[in-house]
Amino acid sequence: MSEEKVTTDIITLTRHVLDEQRKHKEASGDLTVLLNAIQLGCKFVAANVRRARLLNLIGLAGGTQNISGDEQKKLDVISNEIFINALRSSGKVAVMVSEEDEEAIIVEDGLKGRYCVVFDPLDGSSNIDAGVNVGTIFGIYRVAEGSSGTVEDVLRPGNEMVVAGYCMYGSSANMVLTVGNGVNGYTLDNAIGEFILSHPNIKVPSRGKIYSVNEGNTKYWNEACQEYFHSLKFPPEGKNPYSARYIGSMVADVHRTLLYGGIFAYPDDKKSKNGKLRLLYECYPMAFLTEQAGGKAITGHKRLLDVVPENIHSRCPIFLGSKDDVEDVEKLYKKYSK
Cα–Cα distance for residue pair 232/243, rounded to 1 Å: 8
Name the amino acid, one letter, at 226: Q
Long-range contacts formed by 223-232: CB under 8 A, 24+ apart: 223/336, 224/300, 224/329, 224/332, 224/333, 224/335, 224/336, 225/265, 225/267, 225/269, 225/300, 227/332, 228/328, 228/329, 228/332, 231/328
- Please check whether residue 234 is in contact with residue 242, taking contact to mean a CB–CB distance below 8 angstroms: no
Compute the C-alpha angle 288/301/208, nearest 5°. 60
Active-site residue, from 100, 253, 325, 330: 100
How many Å apart are CA 38 and CA 110, to the nearest integer? 20
- Among 31, 34, 57, 120, which one carries the catalytic annotation? 120
Q: For residue 328, indicate whether it is catalytic.
A: no
Which of the residues 31, 35, 57, 76 is marked catalytic?
76
Which residues, other chains included, contact 73 with Cβ-Cβ below 8 Å and sequence gap of 6+?
Answer: 57, 58, 59, 60, 61, 122, 125, 126, 128
**Is 282 a residue of the active site?**
yes
* Active-site residue, from 31, 123, 232, 325: 123
Report the distance separating Cα 211 and Cα 274, nearest Å. 21
**Catalytic (active site) residue 120:** yes
- Annotated active-site residue 31? The verdict is no
Contact yes or no for 321/204 (Cβ under 8 A): yes
Active-site position among 269, 282, 291, 325: 282
Q: Which of 99, 268, 269, 325 is catalytic?
A: 99
* The one catalytic residue among 19, 70, 102, 223: 70
> Phi first, then psi: what are they for 234, rounded to 5°?
-130, 70
Which one of the listed residues 31, 122, 188, 320 is annotated catalytic?
A: 122
Tell me if residue 100 is catalytic: yes
**Is residue 337 exposed (0-12), middle (13-18) or buried (19+ Cβ within 10 Å)?**
exposed
Asked whether the beta carbons of 139 and 282 are under 8 A apart, the reply is: no
Catalogue the active-site residues.
70, 76, 99-100, 120, 122-123, 282
